[in-house]
Amino acid sequence: MTSDRHFVIVGGGLAAAKLAEALRDNDFDGSVTVIGAEEQLPYDRPPLSKEHLLGKKSLEDFTVNPGQW
């Protein structure tokens, strides 16, 4: 049975994405909503300056989880 609890995470960065993963890994089966100020899905920031600006990787390559997840 699915829980009717609802977890709201404010801030759509790496910590938010990892918290959402931890909730699922620890069997939280209620709703999870991530509220972020950016248009992008949560992504890992270090590759921005190390690979993205050099044209080696696109933002999708270091998005933490796909939208479907």
Ligand X SMILES: Cc1cc2nc3c(=O)[nH]c(=O)nc-3n(C[C@H](O)[C@H](O)[C@H](O)COP(=O)(O)OP(=O)(O)OC[C@H]3O[C@@H](n4cnc5c(N)ncnc54)[C@H](O)[C@@H]3O)c2cc1C
Residues near ligand X (CB under 6 A): 10-16, 35-38, 45-46, 48-49
11 or 23: CB nearest ligand X: 11
Q: Which tokens sit at 5? A: 């609890």
28 or 64: CB nearest ligand X: 64
37 or 54: CB nearest ligand X: 37
Residue nearest to ligand X (CB): 13
C-alpha distances in Å from residue 59, one per residue of 8, 24, 64: 25, 24, 10
| Ramachandran angles phi, psi of 31, nearest 5° | -80, 145
